[in-house]
Amino acid sequence: MSITVFVPRDSSALSLGADLVARAIVGEAARRGADIHLVRNGSRGLFWLEPLVEVATPEGRIGYGPVAPEDVNALFECDFLHGGDHHLRLGLTEEIPCLKKQERLTFARVGITDPVSLDDYRAHGGYRGLARAIGMSGGDVVEEVTQSGLRGRGGAAFPTGIKWKTVLGTEAPQKYVVCNADEGDSGTYSDRMLMEGDPFALIEGMTIAALAVGADHGYIYLRSEYPYAKQVLDEAIANARDAGYLGADILGSGKRFELEVRVGAGAYICGEETSLLDSLEGKRGMVRFKPPLPAVQGLFGRPTIINNVISLASVPIILDRGWKYYHDYGMGRSRGTLAFQLAGNVKYPGLIEKAFGVTLRELVRDYGGGTATGRPVRTAQVGGPLGAYLPVHQFDTPLDYEAFIAIDAMLGHGGIVVFDDTVDMAQMARYAMEFCAIESCGKCTPCRIGSPRGVEVMDAIIEGRDRQHNLALLRDLCDTMLNGSLCALGGMTPYPVLSALRHFPQDFGDAPAKGA
């Protein structure tokens, strides 16, 4: 009986040498005549432990990490294949506190299963949601999703069920389901982890969405920087099609759903849903105005569900366990869980799926273990490059959509980037403008001209030129961008700028803010 060894194929693990480790293990096993079965699983999301090698034992999966290729020989020597002791031994992986404390609903299988194994997927509860959905009316499926309280995990937090209802209710000869997998926010990676670690969850979610609203074609718009995700998705889609989960007659229901992966061309703005649709149509990715909503006139002018990876991948469990199960997590109007992504200057970076309501302090301190540099935390940017910088005194705000809006911040896609006390917030404000200038599609004026002007004004402030004039100009410019921009890129770039200015005025040459 062979022993199953897990070495992640997730990009984060690969970047830390997982392939070399896997090769070393296979080579060493062969040399020693050990009968092993290597599974290339997804990542558990505990990046400081990657490559995290696991071995299936009668007691459960024992983790070792971070493993370097040169450790492999020693691991064999310690009989790690039977859970042997070694200084890299972590014990039962699921008992690792950072993992154990999480509430993994969407990521329940990520890091556990073989991402492209349909059997593994089904063995872990996969495709039960679809099986149930096939027996329901489209309207009932939409209602289930609506009741669950699921909101768009891409950042806008629009109720998913409402979006679906619009598509369902719009008569058209053709409808589409599009997955926005253009995960471009700095410090975010949950989409990638999900696609690399459990692609069937996304495929199943999209299939349920398609059947619910009567779409027969879907696209995953994947950013070009995720080549491994593309491999995994393509393989998983092929496997699903071969098994009748995709194609002309899904599970004998007589319903068709075709799915394909389309790769973007490196523009951040194509993560904005309407630009994404333009790009998918083969056009230059430019932001469309709304209305018409994509749910009414989306891809190729047809009603289109366009949702983020995590939103869609959360659907199977909602259909499987019922809306109430999911709804029971969270707080206020933020129901279920969010896959927070801890990054930046943090000791233990990684993915933390928790119900809404956890605080930033808990995540940064209890999960992240403070900064990697050991210096005091000064701020964290939540929600990607367009998110606000929060001072430490706001770290007790519960991570909840509405609570964050109340402090002029946002949860966005759940990315959290931590900074220590050496950060220069004026430079961070400048960076926000620069990011916008580089990534602007160039359609609307506040973003196209405003963002380079923002960089120039910040340069003047940083150099101390005519500071009061330029600070006033910066505030006016932020106001113009905030209120005048066509989409969230220009419209939210002022968030990091103004939050930096508000909470850390001393970095801009002003007096310190109260309470800072």
Interface residue list for other proteins (CB under 8 A): 267, 269, 284, 286, 289-291, 437-453, 456-457, 469, 473, 476-477, 479-480, 483-486
CB of 381 to other proteins, least distance (A): 22
Cα–Cα distances in Å, from 427 out to 369, 412, 450, 457, 493?
Answer: 26, 22, 17, 12, 14
Q: Nearer Cβ to other proteins, position 249 or 476?
A: 476
Nearest to 116 by CA among 203, 228, 196, 236: 236
CB of 452 to other proteins, least distance (A): 5
Q: Nearer Cβ to other proteins, position 89 or 467?
A: 467
Burial class (CB in 10 A: 0-12, 13-18, 19+), 393: exposed
In one letter, which amino acid is 338? L
Q: Nearer Cβ to other proteins, position 307 or 470?
A: 470
H or E element at residue 426: helix 425-439
SS in 3 state form for 452-497? HHHHHHHHHHHHCCCHHHHHHHHHHHHHHHHHHCCCHHHHHCHHHH
CB of 451 to other proteins, least distance (A): 7
Let me know the angle formed at the C-alpha of 206 by 233 and 146, rounded to the nearest 5 degrees.
145
8 Å CB contact between 49 and 65 = yes
CB of 430 to other proteins, least distance (A): 15
Burial class (CB in 10 A: 0-12, 13-18, 19+), 291: exposed
d(CA 226, CA 77): 36
d(CA 509, CA 190): 37
Strand partners, 339: 353
CB of 230 to other proteins, least distance (A): 24
Q: Nearer Cβ to other proteins, position 179 or 474?
A: 474
Location of structure tokens 């289930």: 144
d(CA 220, CA 297): 18
Cis peptide before 303 (omega within 30 of 0): no
CB of 446 to other proteins, least distance (A): 6
Q: Nearer Cβ to other proteins, position 38 or 296?
A: 296
CB of 496 to other proteins, least distance (A): 18
Q: Nearer Cβ to other proteins, position 269 or 295?
A: 269
Q: Nearer Cβ to other proteins, position 162 or 449?
A: 449
CB of 296 to other proteins, least distance (A): 12
d(CA 110, CA 193): 8
d(CA 197, CA 41): 6
Q: Nearer Cβ to other proteins, position 143 or 459?
A: 459
Q: Nearer Cβ to other proteins, position 8 or 446?
A: 446
8 Å CB contact between 190 and 230 = no
Q: Nearer Cβ to other proteins, position 158 or 395?
A: 158
CB of 369 to other proteins, least distance (A): 38
d(CA 98, CA 49): 11
CB of 472 to other proteins, least distance (A): 9
Q: Nearer Cβ to other proteins, position 136 or 473?
A: 473
CB of 156 to other proteins, least distance (A): 14
Nearest to 444 by CA among 295, 292, 272, 296: 272
